[in-house]
Amino acid sequence: MQIKNKELPLPIIQGGMGVGISLSGLAGAVAACGGMGVISAAHPGYLDPDFDTDMLAVNLRCLQEEIEKAKKTAAGRGLVGVNIMVAAQKYEQFVWAAVQAGADAIISGAGLPTELPAIAGDADILLAPIVSSGRAAKLLCRKWERAGRLPDFVVIEGSRAGGHLGFSPEELESKTAPELWKILAEVLDELRPFEEKCGCPIPVFVAGGIFTGAEIAQAQQRGAAGVQMATRFIATEECDADIRYKQAMVNAREEDVVLIKSPVGMPGRALNSPLIQRIAIQGRIPPQHCLNCLRPCNPAETSYCITDALIAAAKGDWENGLFFCGDNVGRVDKIVPVRELIEELVHDWRANQ
């Protein structure tokens, strides 16, 4: 499919996963198979020896190195995107770093990326917001239109996704959040007038609980251009996380998944690991040190340091890690090469078209 001036051979985006879960290893492998591989801009330099003393510079340098490596692996087949959380401190510097390093796309969520087009200007990079409602899609298009640019594509994250979720804790706990297909219909309705005005399509990708190629076909039958998937890509050989994170996904059962309160100010979905249980008992685990990495986080009040917890998870530390995952993780049963997973998805997608 064509997205503006770029060709995406397969209707599959591998969702960005921070910290350290989707870097060049995973993103490059997905792009080499014809999908869009997405590198997370959340602390790509977490393993660098200077990370604690010079976090911003290290992260910016490592993000650019990861983009360059992934593009090399992709060898021009699929696309390489970067996921930048709106909540990140120095957001604009990550956008510029992604542009300079030649990323094909920026996907931005965990908040509404209202300033993204003004920051990226007319750079040759696809810009996409993550939204969880038709209302958010409309609001965002209105704001972006004023900055002279509409989204090149849109990702909808439904309530079954992993990581941060754009729904209230009450909606999630009571399972009353609107279902993905309903949000898709609303977003398509809201985008239509903008597409008509600009005379170009705004492809929509749906995320959250997508597991099979048949679901990709179903998404397309309902008007989506494709899907964004994340949890299944953790259980791949090329995923950048420690093998123990991947194994935790394979071992997880449906009942091991919990909703958490994130210091980012949104609910999140993760495995019920020892850290989650300690926070539930103690109420608060005060951060040992603070690198001031998230705008909404106040170290004097936060119930734990999410960066430390996500870094521990990426390193496979089951006791201290926060293991984000989607609510479909119970269906993940083996670790496979990215190519095998994508071949399975494509085979199933084609069979159901």
Ligand X SMILES: Cc1cc2nc3c(=O)[nH]c(=O)nc-3n(C[C@H](O)[C@H](O)[C@H](O)COP(=O)(O)O)c2cc1C
Q: How far is the CB of 315 from ligand X (least distance, A)?
A: 14
CB 303 within 8 A of CB 260: no
Among 123, 114, 101, which Cα is nearest to 39's?
101
Per-residue DSSP letter, 320: T
Out of 44, 78, 129, 209, name the contact with ligand X by CB under 6 A. 209
Based on the shown chain and the rule CB under 6 A, indicate whether residue 324 belongs to the binding site for ligand X. Answer: yes
Based on the shown chain and the rule CB under 6 A, indicate whether residue 44 belongs to the binding site for ligand X. Answer: no
Contact characters 269-308, ligand X, x per CB under 6 A: ----------------------------------------
Name 114's Cβ contacts closer than 8 Å, sequence gap at least 6. Answer: 140, 143, 144
Query: Can you state the percent helix, strand and coil of the chain, rounding each to 5?
Result: 40, 15, 45
Give residue 285's identity as a one-letter amino acid code: I
Distances (CA, A) of 31 to 5, 202, 263: 17, 21, 32
Stretch of 43-51, 137-145, 198-206, 229-237 contacting ligand X, by CB under 6 A: 229-237
CA distance 241 to 17: 10
The three-state secondary structure class of 262 is: coil
Stretch of 52-60, 174-182, 320-328, 335-343 contacting ligand X, by CB under 6 A: 320-328
Give residue 284's identity as a one-letter amino acid code: R
Based on the shown chain and the rule CB under 6 A, indicate whether residue 248 belongs to the binding site for ligand X. Answer: no
CB 130 within 8 A of CB 82: no
Based on the shown chain and the rule CB under 6 A, indicate whether residue 240 belongs to the binding site for ligand X. Answer: no
CA 86 to chain centre: 12
Nearer to ligand X, 117 or 209 (CB): 209
Based on the shown chain and the rule CB under 6 A, indicate whether residue 59 belongs to the binding site for ligand X. Answer: no
Contact characters 73-112, ligand X, x per CB under 6 A: ----------x-x-----------------------xx--
Based on the shown chain and the rule CB under 6 A, indicate whether residue 18 belongs to the binding site for ligand X. Answer: yes
Stretch of 58-66, 98-106, 154-162, 340-348 contacting ligand X, by CB under 6 A: 154-162
Among 70, 61, 8, 69, which Cα is nearest to 38's?
70
Based on the shown chain and the rule CB under 6 A, indicate whether residue 163 belongs to the binding site for ligand X. Answer: yes
CA distance 273 to 114: 34
Out of 40, 64, 93, 236, name the contact with ligand X by CB under 6 A. 40
Based on the shown chain and the rule CB under 6 A, indicate whether residue 140 belongs to the binding site for ligand X. Answer: no
Out of 127, 230, 271, 297, name the contact with ligand X by CB under 6 A. 230
For residue 292, count other CB atoms closer than 10 A to its CB: 11
Q: Interface residues with ligand X (CB under 6 A)?
A: 15-18, 21, 40, 42, 83, 85, 109-110, 130, 157, 160-163, 207-210, 228-231, 324-326, 328
